[in-house]
Amino acid sequence: MKKIISVVGARPNFIKIAPLHKALVKYNNEIQHIICHTGQHFDEKMSDVFFNELEMPRPKYNLGISGGTHAHQTANIMLEFEKILIDENPDLVVVPGDVNSTLACSLVASKIGIKLAHIESGLRSFNREMPEEINRIVTDVIADYLFVSEPSGLENLKKEGISKDKVFYVGNIMIDSLVGFNDKINSENTHSKLGVDKKQYVLVTFHRPSNVDNHDKLAELLKLLTRLSKKQKIVFPVHPRTKHNIEKFDLEKLLAPGIVQTEPLGYLSFLSLINNAKLVLTDSGGIQEECTFMHVPCITAREDTERPVTTELGTNYLGGANFQEMDILIDEVIRNPKKGAIPKYWDGKTAERIAEIIVKSCNEDNNDKGRD
């Protein structure tokens, strides 16, 4: 029996590995699937609740590594994950996305000589000031299986000289979770619990260091939300990093009292908020994709996006990072939002395609060993 270890570390990872686990269950006579949680997101609302809502098995391993600098976190994950790989000796390691856990576990697997699969390969913002961009590039260089979610990924990997034999255009695995839990998402009605009306509020999420770690930048963001709250109802689930910095910089007074602030929400509750929002204002990557699938207008407060299909085909707009000048775009999008379309292979079957490729490759490896 072949053994696969999938790595999760941050909220988006869980959303990507949950459907893969379900798809691999169909092959439980051939595949043993183990989940390793690095602990990168240590807050219960940022991790544990996702295992419950996404109906994932508890991870066999939890490394419990969180906080610290990028180097500190990456190095500690590498040290602990190496022990697991030596003990388990898996045939394949699967890493999703672009967080530090992705990079750390990829490096360890590659150096030990264990095959590596990367889910969401080829995404590029072309902004190397983003730590995630470095993680993506390095992981793609050493991966044996590169699973691509959108056309730009294929183009980027080709330009970077990655062998096409390693590249598989399978679609967006995040959408699998959205499709699979669609009924539950629709029944949540989180907006009603927060006292706001359907399609009558703007949902706001911010967490990137470039937006929330600088006093002046964060202050301008909060001023923008206060200006916007005079025209639109605002719902603001506050990321722990953002909350910490608001308190650290003593900026609470900049937020209008009418803004509905919440703690981080579970997967179903948050997707329900997206689905019923008039507009989403964010600096997240995955939310751009979820908005595109649900046909909800989205403004991404960044100068670039690693998911260009969401702006070219979907409902996403790149709003830049100047919060003093964003009001005009917000007003325009609310007045005349684009309808958008759902990209190819965003159909809820990506995990099935990935599982089929993995199992087929494992069987081919067995045949090759038999011939040797």
Q: Which residues pair with 261 in a beta bridge?
A: 236
The type of residue at 255 is L
Q: Which residues are catalytic, by number? A: 207
* Confidence bin at 53 (pLDDT 50/70/90): confident
Check pLDDT > 80 for residue 230: yes
Check pLDDT > 70 for residue 368: no
Enter the DSSP assignment of 295.
Answer: T
* Confidence bin at 45 (pLDDT 50/70/90): low
Supply the mean pLDDT for the chain.
93
In a domain, 341, yes or no: no
- Give the tens place of pLDDT for each residue, 101-151: 999 999 999 999 999 999 999 999 999 999 999 999 999 999 999 999 999
Radius of gyration of the chain from Cα atoms?
Answer: 21
* 233 shares its domain with 352: no
* 108 shares its domain with 151: yes
Cα separation, 316 vs 318, in Å, equals: 7
Domain range spanning residue 146? 2-171+346-371
Given this model, what pLDDT does residue 42 score? 54
Cα separation, 357 vs 98, in Å, equals: 22
In a domain, 177, yes or no: no
Check pLDDT > 50 for residue 372: no
Question: What size, in residues, is the chain?
Answer: 372
* 160 shares its domain with 196: no
* 366 shares its domain with 292: no
pTM of the model: 0.93
In a domain, 151, yes or no: yes
Cα separation, 185 vs 273, in Å, equals: 9
Given this model, what pLDDT does residue 367 score? 58
Q: Which residues pair with 33 in a beta bridge?
A: 4
* 46 shares its domain with 129: yes
Given this model, what pLDDT does residue 39 score? 85
* 124 shares its domain with 16: yes
What CATH number is attached to the domain comprising 86? 3.40.50.2000
